[in-house]
Amino acid sequence: MNEWYECVRCGDDIHVTRWRLGERYHVCLACGEKAARAERKGWTVVQEYQKGGYMFVTAASALNTLKQTNQKAVRT
C-alpha cells in the first residue's frame, strides 16, 4: 500500500492519513499555510483605534463597523 501521496501544488510528499481527510488536504503543510494566509487576508480588515489596539473586522460587518468607528459622529 502506498503510504505517501504527492501535493497537488508543489509535488512534496503527503502522508496517506492527511490525504484521506479529503480534497482540501491534498496539499502539503507549506502549501496549505500559504493558501490559508491568502484566504485570511481576503476576509479581514484591520481597524486601528486612537486609544486602543487593533480590531479585526470581517467582510460581512465591515461596512457598518467602519462607519461607526468615531463614536462622536455616528454615520448612518
Here the cell at position 59 is: 467582510
CA nearest to 67, candidates 52, 47, 50? 47
One-letter amino acid for residue 57 of the chain: V
Task: Please indicate, yes or no, if residue 75 is contained in any of the structural domains.
Answer: no
CA nearest to 62, candidates 41, 47, 40? 47
Task: Please indicate, yes or no, if residue 14 is contained in any of the structural domains.
Answer: yes
pLDDT band at 2 (very low <50, low <70, confident <90, very high): confident
pLDDT tens track for 29-68: 999 999 888 887 776 666 666 666 777 777 777 777 777 7
Total of domains in the chain: 1
One-letter amino acid for residue 33 of the chain: E
pTM as predicted: 0.53
- For residue 19, the enclosing domain spans 4-67
pLDDT tens track for 7-19: 999 999 999 999 9
